[in-house]
Amino acid sequence: MKSPYLITKEEALRVYKPVNPHTHKGLQGHAVIIAGSYGKIGAAVLASKSCLKSGCGLVTTFIPKCGYQILQISIPEVMTVTDENTNFITNIHLPLIPQAVGIGPGIGKELGTQKALFEFLRINKAPLVIDADALNILAENLSWFELVPENTILTPHPKELERLIGKWNSDSEKFQKTIAFSEKYKVIVVMKGAPTFIINKSEIYQNTTGNAALATAGSGDVLTGILTSLLAQGYEPKYAAKLGVYLHGLTADLALPKTGYESFTASTIIKYLGKAFLELDN
Ligand SMILES: NC(=O)C1=CN([C@@H]2O[C@H](COP(=O)(O)OP(=O)(O)OC[C@H]3O[C@@H](n4cnc5c(N)ncnc54)[C@H](OP(=O)(O)O)[C@@H]3O)[C@@H](O)[C@H]2O)[C@@H](O)CC1
Ligand SMILES: Nc1ncnc2c1ncn2[C@@H]1O[C@H](COP(=O)(O)OP(=O)(O)O)[C@@H](O)[C@H]1O
Ligand SMILES: [Mg+2]
């Protein structure tokens, strides 16, 4: 196994593109978040809010009907399109052409949702981030990866990774299998954990930010929003992945002296995104 490249501040600065003073919301990218089901609309709220707060111009969120008021009231800046079904997604229809889509947080694995994911993958042309239950559905239908665009970013936590690549007996086997998966399906795998690694074919990158404060519900949903936002702004997927995991971890490093590990929540990540971006302007 090659030794990993570290994602340091210098590397993040190389990747980061400061906002052009003459830009407008139409140039900053329109991102779509497809997330949520009854009881897990919070995942859609967290991903959408972090997406909006990572620099893209417009965010539209696709949710089942039951999430409509929750989402509109929680984040008035985000536009909402609802499925015809009440409790889970069954038919993804988008009245726009997005620059990037993040799909999966909290969507569940209902049969109707599985079919909706398949149909969405058949027609989608936008750069993609695939997370959570969308990964779990794909893990049971590996042939659908044919429909997944090259350089799509997958963001599995260890259990989701195991569902995708099977069990491993050692760390080195885990990396070997993930590299083989990345090469076979031409996808970028963000192996979330402590620390997070990014696998892009045979290249391995290791993040240098983040701490145990991130071990809290919804922190992965927030990462999905950040990555989708960066893709929508035109970052190449491999750069979006590096910058996104770096900023996500940095929020926890910046917040820790104020919150301690215990009171840090996924919303704290979102609260500290501004400070994390400002670190790159110094
Ligand atoms: N507010 C909301 O709406 C929220 C909605 N959410 C949504 O809920 C859905 C289900 O997501 P999920 O990840 O909780 O369930 P699932 O895929 O079964 O994984 C759990 C298993 O994985 C393991 N595991 C996890 N991390 C690990 C690690 N670092 N290292 C090692 N093991 C690790 C863990 O293992 P354990 O240690 O518990 O045995 C357990 O077995 C998903 O759509 C998500 O987006 C959540 O984001 C929460 C907030
Ligand atoms: N101990 C830890 N140190 C650093 N990062 C962590 C730690 N525990 C969790 N994380 C990060 O928090 C996120 C958790 O994602 P995930 O398990 O998908 O959460 P959720 O599904 O609840 O949103 C990942 O980015 C992971 O790297
Ligand atoms: Mg998750």
**pLDDT, tens only, 138-173:** 999 999 999 999 999 999 999 999 999 999 999 999
Residue 1 above 80 pLDDT?
no
- For atom 46 of ligand 1, the residue with the nearest CA is 218
φ, ψ of residue 117 in degrees (nearest 5): -65, -45
Class of residue 86 by CB neighbours under 10 A (exposed 0-12, middle 13-18, buried 19+): middle
Give percent of the chain above pLDDT 90: 98
Contacts of 248 (CB under 8 A, 6+ apart): 209, 210, 214, 219, 222, 223, 226, 269
Residue 203 binned pLDDT confidence (cut-offs 50, 70, 90): very high
Answer yes or no: are the C-beta atoms of 129 and 103 closer than 8 Å.
yes
Neighbours of ion ligand 3 (CB under 5 A): 132, 220
User: Taking the model in full, what pTM does it have?
Assistant: 0.98
The answer, yes or no, to whether any atom of ligand 2 lies below 6 A from the CB of 206, is no
Residue pLDDT, tens place only, 32-91: 999 999 999 999 999 999 999 999 999 999 999 999 999 999 999 999 999 999 999 999
Ligand 1 center to 3 CA (angstroms) = 29
Q: Which helix (H) or strand (E) holds 189?
A: strand 188-191
Complex ipTM more than 0.90, yes or no: yes
Ligand 1 center to 280 CA (angstroms) = 31
The confidence score (pLDDT) of residue 282 equals 65
Average pLDDT of the chain is 97
The answer, yes or no, to whether any atom of ligand 1 lies below 6 A from the CB of 218, is yes
Ligand 2 center to 241 CA (angstroms) = 15
Ligand 3 center to 23 CA (angstroms) = 33
Tell me how far apart the alpha carbons of residues 131 and 246 are, in angstroms, rounded to a whole number: 18
Q: Is 167 annotated as a binding residue?
A: no
Residue 2 above 80 pLDDT?
no
The answer, yes or no, to whether any atom of ligand 2 lies below 6 A from the CB of 45, is no
Q: Is 102 annotated as a binding residue?
A: no
- For atom 11 of ligand 2, the residue with the nearest CA is 214
**Can you tell me the mean pLDDT for 246-269?**
98
